Amino acid sequence: MTWQALMKEELERLRQADIPEADSDIRLLAMDVAGCTYSTLILRMAEEVTEKQAQRLHAYVTERMTHKPCQYILGTQEFMGYEFATAEEVLIPRPETELLVEEACRIAENWKDTPDGRKRRVLDLCCGSGCIGISFSKLRHGRDLVELADISDAAIALTKKNRERLQADCAVIQTDLFMQIEGKYDMIVSNPPYIRTDEIPKLMAEVRDFEPHLALDGKADGLYFYDKIIREAREYLYEDGYILFEIGQDQLDAVRGLLVENGYTDIKGIKDYAGLDRIVTARYLKSCVQ
């Protein structure tokens, strides 16, 4: 059997199982089995596959038919040009989250030297796989002191794994939000759980049945972690320090309101590639708090 025939056969299995984006999934899975890029695979379509390759792709597709995400099947996900390891107990990095890293880097590029010559400190809170903080550190070439924090054992283990595989100079802290955090930061970035509890059963099967609810559930109104982080972060931000969040598409006004109530200023919303509200940035000015 040729690659073309095998992929056609396995693609039909994905379609019959109502797998979303089946065409792109079969390409991704076949690329892993063939060990090459898709452009190279196209040139090999008339080649015969080995029995081992056919069995491996068939097994991948069988897993995918259960709606298990390809990122968990293959164990990796590209983010900001870096290949991150994934784990089933940890949220998969999303393309829209790259906007959070891009905005954090944009802000950092405008930083001037501190009066005392210290390095800037950056905290990635609720770090999950570590994709935000590690990417920021890599893109900034280690100019800042970056710390990544999460409550989950699995997230901490995966972040450490990604730190090593990408050779990032970051500290990793296991903590329930700020409980084990010390000192002040120039920037806090966070992609906290923000799905309303009653919305989780309505999510697509790939998310609902396979991704960790601990990383999704933002409690009844989806704002629990924003409210808590915004209030507590005031003790951990330097004067004029920045806070950046990823948000749900309908949460901009609510998160902006929480920021205003707690003395933050220069609040800005940023839309994602689909034109939906996705990122919020703000500065904390203690002198403005009444």
Instruction: Label each residue of the chain as H, E or C.
Output: CEHHHHHHHHHHHHHHCCCCCHHHHHHHHHHHHHCCCHHHHHHCCCCECCHHHHHHHHHHHHHHCCCCCHHHHHCEEEECCEEEECCCCCCCCCHHHHHHHHHHHHHHHCCCCCCCCCCCEEEEECCCCCHHHHHHHHHCCCCCEEEEEECCHHHHHHHHHHHHHCCCCEEEEECCCCCCCCCCEEEEEECCCCECHHHHHHCCHHHHCCCCHHHCECCCCCCHHHHHHHHHHCCCEEEEEEEEEECCCCCHHHHHHHHHHCCEEEEEEEECCCCCEEEEEEEECHHHCC
Range of the domain at 36: 3-66
Both ends of the chain: CA-CA distance in Å? 73
- Note whether 139 and 270 are same-domain residues: yes
- Per-residue pLDDT at 289: 54
d(CA 230, CA 188): 10
Mean pLDDT for all residues in the chain: 95
Is there a binding annotation on residue 194? Answer: yes
In a domain, 82, yes or no: no
**Residue 44: is its pLDDT beyond 70?**
yes
- Note whether 113 and 56 are same-domain residues: no
In a domain, 45, yes or no: yes
CATH number at residue 132: 3.40.50.150
- Provide the number of structural domains found in the chain: 2
In a domain, 76, yes or no: no
Handedness of CA 163, 167, 168, 170 (dihedral sign): positive
d(CA 66, CA 30): 18
- Per-residue pLDDT at 288: 57
- Note whether 198 and 108 are same-domain residues: yes
Q: Average pLDDT in the 248-267 region?
A: 96
- Per-residue pLDDT at 287: 62
**Residue 174: is its pLDDT beyond 60?**
yes
- Note whether 138 and 171 are same-domain residues: yes
114 pLDDT band, cuts 50/70/90, is confident
Handedness of CA 135, 118, 268, 191 (dihedral sign): positive
**Residue 80: is its pLDDT beyond 70?**
yes
Closest among 281, 247, 245 to 264, alpha carbons compared: 281
- Per-residue pLDDT at 60: 98
- Note whether 155 and 243 are same-domain residues: yes
In a domain, 81, yes or no: no
Is there a binding annotation on residue 192? Answer: yes
Q: Average pLDDT in the 24-42 region?
A: 95
**Residue 234: is its pLDDT beyond 70?**
yes
Do residues 259 and 282 lie in contact, with contact meaning Cβ atoms separated by under 8 Å? yes
- Note whether 36 and 98 are same-domain residues: no
- Note whether 188 and 280 are same-domain residues: yes
- Which residues are CB-contacts of 220 (< 8 A; sequence separation ≥ 6)? 196, 197, 198
- Note whether 93 and 60 are same-domain residues: no
Q: What's at 177, amino acid-wise? A: L
In a domain, 78, yes or no: no
- Note whether 60 and 175 are same-domain residues: no
In a domain, 111, yes or no: yes
In a domain, 71, yes or no: no
- Note whether 149 and 255 are same-domain residues: yes
Tokens linked to 113: 């030297």
- Note whether 32 and 145 are same-domain residues: no
Give me the percent of the chain exceeding a pLDDT of 70: 99
Q: Average pLDDT in the 192-211 region?
A: 93
285 pLDDT band, cuts 50/70/90, is confident
- Note whether 179 and 269 are same-domain residues: yes
Closest among 164, 203, 167, 170 to 189, alpha carbons compared: 170
Residues 128-169: pLDDT tens digits? 999 999 999 999 998 999 999 999 999 999 999 999 999 999
115 pLDDT band, cuts 50/70/90, is confident
In a domain, 75, yes or no: no
Is there a binding annotation on residue 150? Answer: yes
- Per-residue pLDDT at 113: 85
For β-strands 277-284 and 237-246, DSSP reports them as antiparallel
